[in-house]
Amino acid sequence: MKYISTRGGDIPVSGAAAIIRGLASDRGLYVPAELPRLDAGAAFGAESGGAAGGIAADATERPVFGAGYRAVARAVLGAFLPDYSEEEIRVCVDGAYDEKFDTPEIAPLVKTDKAYFLELWHGGTAAFKDMALSILPYLLKTAMRKEGEDKKVVILTATSGDTGKAALAGFADVPGTEIFVFYPKDGVSAVQERQMVTQTGANVHVYGIRGNFDDAQKGVKNVFNDAVFGEALAGRGLRLSSANSINIGRLVPQVAYYVYAYGKLLSDGEIQNGEAVNICVPTGNFGNILAAYYAKQIGVPIARLLCASNENKVLTDFLDTGVYDARREFILTSSPSMDILISSNLERLLWHLSGGDSEQIAYLMAGLERDGHYETGAGIKAGLRDFQGGFADMKKAHQSLARLCREEHYLIDTHTAVGYSVYLDDLAKTGDRTKTIIVSTASPYKFAGSVAASLGLPGEADEFAYMERIRAYTGAPIPAGLRGLEKKPALHTGVIDKDAIQSTVDFALRD
Ligand SMILES: *Cc1c(COP(=O)(O)O)cnc(C)c1O
């Protein structure tokens, strides 16, 4: 199976090569030329007591840490990366999904009155980015060995807050790599910023930029697209890659948790075999929901995909009209990891829905880069019918967060609350009773100030005091990775202009 560029201007490459490169040379994104079919037996069933049942059905049997999740991840990664041997995949999966996670289930599925929440934030940095970024370093290292890569890989990462820390944690002190993270100086939560600037590691570089996430992402993409700079780096034994979801090595591991969640509903007796479910995803760069689409395409019975946005609702409007228009005010919200107007991974969906029409994709993306908008053809529009867009403003998200906590004693974060609000709206509007999995993307403690405000807790001086307040109010444990952050020294204090990403990288690599 080969990976090709959405814009048609680069040669097909293996999965390993696509992971090393990150972005194709024609500025397109790598997509699987054809999607695999999942062997449902291997993915949902099998392996001692059901691969899907992370916790063995028999409660007296102690679960092997991560057993169920790892089996599913192996099946999914094997299907998408046939150039990796079974043994290579096993080593990657075992290295990633271990005691760095705070529960043997890795991704627990929690049942509430109206929906199931798939908690993807039990990894070291307390957001769903850990699901992919704890395995990406293993996939990349393996890829470098397989491809005989002799250069040092320099990973550039733009972050809306959560990718940065997860990438830093994954790549810190990984031999043969340097990791750079750029975050919007005023666009992340205090906890997110603390997590990043306190990161240790000899190969770690973190900068705030004066600009928003789109500026950071664009700046990083521009560095990739500068062929002259790339050649100069090659001469110095360096090669650029990406830890953003533009890297296919981020998306493939994310498919696994949708397969896992479906299998878990089955083994828990919540659904019949083959019964379709809906998936609701709080969305920013469109990576997480694209992984759900891939899960559907490879055989998981999924009916509708609900794409939830905050006030930056460019995707809601797009799914309604087929017109993508980023020419609007960028709004800072209490779900900062979704404050995005250029959703990179949408390009991949458009490619799939157009039947691989790379000319059309190149044309649309040129329009977006030049004019800030485009309108898709009829073929793509028809393909969008599996998706339903919706948005929730801060007031609405905070209300549904508070109600869920008050009435059902279940605490979610502000991003997940956007997803939950959109789901409730859709339920009221359509009456669609299909069982729905809402993706829970972050620990509520990462956004302690906004969560506390939603709950009506009294004001505090800083985010860390809010954490304590929430803990006292709800009894929910504070994730280990977030404890004591306020006492760690800030190691990275650089703030740069949004146009200075390339020169900053160049300079830092000369040290
Ligand atoms: C990254 C992130 C999102 C958005 O995910 P995408 O894959 O970019 O759509 C939503 N919520 C949280 C907490 C995140 O960190």
pLDDT digits (tens, 9 = 90+) for 251-276: 999 999 999 999 999 999 999 999 99
Mean pLDDT of 228-238: 96
Given a cut of 80, is residue 379 above it in pLDDT? yes
Find out whether the beta carbon of 245 lies less than 6 Å from any atom of ligand 1: yes
| Atom number, ligand 1, closest to the C-alpha of residue 441 | 13
Distance between Cα 449 and ligand 1 center (Å): 18
Contacts of 188 (CB under 8 A, 6+ apart): 159, 160, 161, 196, 336
Given a cut of 70, is residue 62 above it in pLDDT? no
125, 128, 438: which to mutate for ligand 1, most atoms within 8 A of CB? 128
Q: Supply the residue whose CA is at minimum distance from atom 15 of ligand 1.
A: 162
Mean pLDDT of 472-477: 92
| Atom number, ligand 1, closest to the C-alpha of residue 285 | 8
130, 131, 283, 416: which to mutate for ligand 1, most atoms within 8 A of CB? 283
The pLDDT of residue 67: 79
Instruction: Using alpha carbons, list the distances in angstroms from residue 316 to 114, 390, 394, 440.
Output: 23, 5, 16, 19
Distance between Cα 215 and ligand 1 center (Å): 17
Q: Supply the residue whose CA is at minimum distance from atom 8 of ligand 1.
A: 285
Domains of the chain with bracketed CATH? 109-123+249-476 (3.40.50.1100)
Find out whether the beta carbon of 254 lies less than 6 Å from any atom of ligand 1: no
Distance between Cα 52 and ligand 1 center (Å): 24
Percent of the chain with pLDDT over 90: 91
| Atom number, ligand 1, closest to the C-alpha of residue 121 | 13
Mean pLDDT of 468-477: 93
For residue range 392-423, list pLDDT tens digits in order.
999 999 999 999 999 999 999 999 999 999 99
Distance between Cα 73 and ligand 1 center (Å): 20
Given a cut of 70, is residue 42 above it in pLDDT? no
Find out whether the beta carbon of 75 lies less than 6 Å from any atom of ligand 1: no
Mean pLDDT of 110-125: 98
Distance CA 416, CA 111 (A): 15
Could you tell me the pLDDT band of residue 61, with boundaries at 50, 70 and 90?
Answer: very low
At 268, list the tokens.
């828990």
The pLDDT of residue 57: 38
Question: How wide is the angle at C-alpha 57 spanned by C-alphas 54 and 59, nearest 5°?
Answer: 100
Distance between Cα 338 and ligand 1 center (Å): 6
- Give residue for tokens 């279940």: 410
The pLDDT of residue 287: 97
Pair 260, 402: CB distance under 8 Å: no
Pair 139, 155: CB distance under 8 Å: no
Given a cut of 60, is residue 58 above it in pLDDT? no
Number of C-beta neighbours around residue 153 at 10 A: 22
Distance between Cα 386 and ligand 1 center (Å): 20
Find out whether the beta carbon of 337 lies less than 6 Å from any atom of ligand 1: yes
At 37, list the tokens.
């079919």
pTM of the model: 0.94
Mean pLDDT of 31-46: 79
Pair 74, 98: CB distance under 8 Å: no
Q: Supply the residue whose CA is at minimum distance from atom 1 of ligand 1.
A: 337
Find out whether the beta carbon of 415 lies less than 6 Å from any atom of ligand 1: yes
Percent of the chain with pLDDT over 70: 95
Distance between Cα 239 and ligand 1 center (Å): 27
284 closest CA partner among 157, 160, 423: 160
- Give residue for tokens 């204090």: 493
Find out whether the beta carbon of 123 lies less than 6 Å from any atom of ligand 1: no
What's the chain's average pLDDT? Answer: 93
Distance CA 448, CA 334 (A): 10
Given a cut of 70, is residue 437 above it in pLDDT? yes
Distance between Cα 232 and ligand 1 center (Å): 34
Find out whether the beta carbon of 127 lies less than 6 Å from any atom of ligand 1: yes
Distance between Cα 302 and ligand 1 center (Å): 20
Q: Which residues of 409-443 are buried (b: 16+ CB within 10 A; e: fewer)?
A: ebbbbbbbbbbbbbbbbbbeeeeeeebbbbbbbbb
Which DSSP symbol is given to 446?
A: G
**Residues paired with 241 in a beta bridge:** 155
Helix residue ranges per DSSP H, 64-212: 67-80, 86-96, 129-133, 136-146, 162-171, 190-197
Distance between Cα 416 and ligand 1 center (Å): 9
Distance CA 165, CA 191 (A): 11
Could you tell me the pLDDT band of residue 186, with boundaries at 50, 70 and 90?
Answer: very high
Find out whether the beta carbon of 358 lies less than 6 Å from any atom of ligand 1: no
Find out whether the beta carbon of 284 lies less than 6 Å from any atom of ligand 1: yes
Mean pLDDT of 171-183: 96
